[in-house]
Amino acid sequence: MARLLEGKPIAEKIKEELRQAIINLEHKPVLASIMVGENAGAEAYVKSQKKTAEGLGIVYQFHKLSGDTSEGALIDFIQKLNTDNSVNGIIVQMPLPAKIDYKKISQFILPTKDVEGLHPANIGKIVFGKASILPCTPAAVMELLNSTGVDLYGKEIVVVGHSEIVGKPLSLLLLDKFATVCVCHIGTSKAGKLAEHVKTAEVLIVAVGKAGLIKGEWIKEGAIVIDVGINRVADKIVGDVEFEAAEKRASYITPVPGGVGPLTVTMLMRNLIEAAKLQ
């Protein structure tokens, strides 16, 4: 039976380190958060960010813009925050109204204030192993793996999902640990080869958003399983991996909820402290 890899205890330990780092800063760091229009999911995320930030001694500056804000007006707003020396980090909450392209917007956030680590300059630094601001979810996965004490050197790792925010940057971080990384995606599934690859994984990380995509019987005996997926099924939140069957084979497995999620917001705060130091 697998050991549960819970995010909360690791998050608490990192938060303690952040509290100390904040005490040593000259000023309380300021995180500017921008939300465009109404969205219940984003509001819940903002609430949790605010609570975590304030619990650490961070000033959470919330800017709510109306739903009819244009792309140009949002860029102007971001540029004002870029030049405001009292602001250390900027986050634009998702989802944005359909007429605003997030990929375009994220390029206007100053890389040293990009606390989500998604600016091309920050993503590019990962390739050179020189990133100080990492995308939050991949950083959370690396912390979970680190907590197992297992050396990733030479390990067969399979990452399922190749999005810009999770799978792609994560595969580069794993490569930097000298793991042998195989990245699977929709093409792998369509070619009927997903099971074949997953079965080889000593470490399996799944970030797709499809409940039950990874069958329990595909999990290699003793594998470490990190399930990033979040899916609502019949009023319950579940991941992408068949948990009950997988936990019988894995050595470590993340619960959903309670695995990656609690660490992601902590990584955002760690990035803010990094950003404050870079400025």
Q: Does 167 bind ligand NDP (CB under 6 A)?
A: yes
Burial of 126 (0-12, 13-18, 19+ CB in 10 A): buried
Distance CA 152, CA 183 (A): 16
Give the per-residue contact string, 181-200, with ligand NDP (x = CB under 6 A; - = no): ---xxx-xx----x------
Question: Rounded to the nearest whole angstrom, what is the least distance from the CB of residue 43 to ligand NDP in the complex?
Answer: 17
φ, ψ dihedrals at 48, nearest 5°: -70, -35
Structure tokens at 235: 């009023």
The site map against ligand NDP for 226-265 (x = CB under 6 A) is --xxx-----------------------------xx--x-
Smallest gap from Cβ 209 to ligand NDP, in A, equals: 3
Encoded tokens for 131: 């990133």
Q: Does 141 bind ligand NDP (CB under 6 A)?
A: no
One DSSP character per residue, 45-70 reads HHHHHHHHHHHHT-EEEEEEEPTT--
Nearest approach, Cβ of 171 to ligand NDP (angstroms)? 11
User: How many chain residues interact with ligand NDP (CB under 6 A)?
Assistant: 25
> Which tokens go with 169?
């940057």
Nearest distance from residue 261's CB to ligand NDP, in Å? Answer: 4
Is residue 161 a contact residue for ligand NDP (CB under 6 A)? Answer: yes
Binding segment for ligand NDP among 47-55, 58-66, 120-128, 156-164 (CB under 6 A)? 156-164
Binding residues for ligand NDP restricted to 47-86, rule: CB under 6 A? none
Q: What span, in angstroms and rounded, lies between the C-alpha atoms of 144 and 162?
A: 19
Nearer to ligand NDP, 112 or 264 (CB): 264
273 and 18 Cβ atoms separated by less than 8 Å: yes
